[in-house]
Amino acid sequence: MRIAFIGDIVGEPGREMVKIYLSKIKKEYGIDFVIANYENASHGFGLTAKNANELVSYGIDCMSGGNHSWDKKDVIPLFETHEILRPHNYPDEVSGTGCKVYDVAGEKLAVLNLMGHFSMPYADNAFRCAQTTVESLHSQGIKNIFIDFHAEATSEKRAMFMMLKGKVSAIIGTHTHVSTDDFQIIEGSAYLSDIGLSGCWDNVIGMDEKVPLKQFLTGMKGHFDIPKKCKKILQIAIMDLSEGICSNAFKLKYFDDARIIKTDAWR
């Protein structure tokens, strides 16, 4: 199977780039299944029902979340009606799940969403949750496992990979909105510390720079806003999986000025 992952769709600019490019990418690269992180999709914070339906209409099959999963309250019923995840290491008492299994190209694919600890809301231990969940999936005969690890610290992301390499198909980090240059395949597992945002790239993590700069200069916080005009990017990782092994992986960057940059995973 060939799957794709889009991380941190930020506001209308991010949704616009998905609308313009995703169907073309799916056709050109023969993608069977698309996962995307939704937690910043609605004006930078959370996901509305309207935007959820919009993203599904563009060809996204499953959406993962993070610390902003709960920012829009109408997301809660969507956990039951849409293929939408929240971090699996939130307590069992909260709505939704962070792990679902799909039939893709004649094989099973598990999508697991986890959230890290440094500078994040309180949640259960992500590493123990990952261990238990992966062991359970293996016991069910499910070998192809993709993880969106939504975390601030690259050390947490790398440690998760060291723990699970050879046991899962891929771990890709989200949350920082800043792409890293360490896409690699080790022991049949793909890894990328952070795929980076899809949306505005000529500002501060997809947001207008005025409020972040004021905060850094004065300590006074404010509401972050999506710029009305900006330079936009879509960042997407594509991976070939079978029998739990990632045999090939690369990342594409699509810019709104028609540039395309392709980067192959290290081996």
Q: Is 68 a catalytic residue?
A: yes
207-230 as b/e: b if 16+ CB within 10 A: bbeebbeeeeeeeeeeebebbeeb
Collapsing DSSP to helix, strand or coil, 204 comes out as strand
CA–CA separation, 84 vs 69, rounded Å?
A: 10
Tokens 């962070």 found at? 98
Could you give the CA distance from residue 218 to residue 73 in angstroms, rounded to a whole number?
A: 32
Beta-carbon neighbour count of residue 191 at 10 Å?
27
Question: Helix or strand or coil: residue 186?
Answer: strand
Q: Which is the catalytic residue, given 68, 82, 175, 177?
A: 68
Question: Rounded to an integer, what distance in angstroms lies between the CA atom of residue 92 and that of residue 135?
Answer: 18
Query: 23 — phi, psi (to 5°)?
Result: -60, -35
- For tokens 């440094």, the residue is 118
Strand intervals (E) in 11-162: 33-37, 62-64, 99-104, 107-115, 144-150
Q: Tell me the catalytic residues.
A: 68
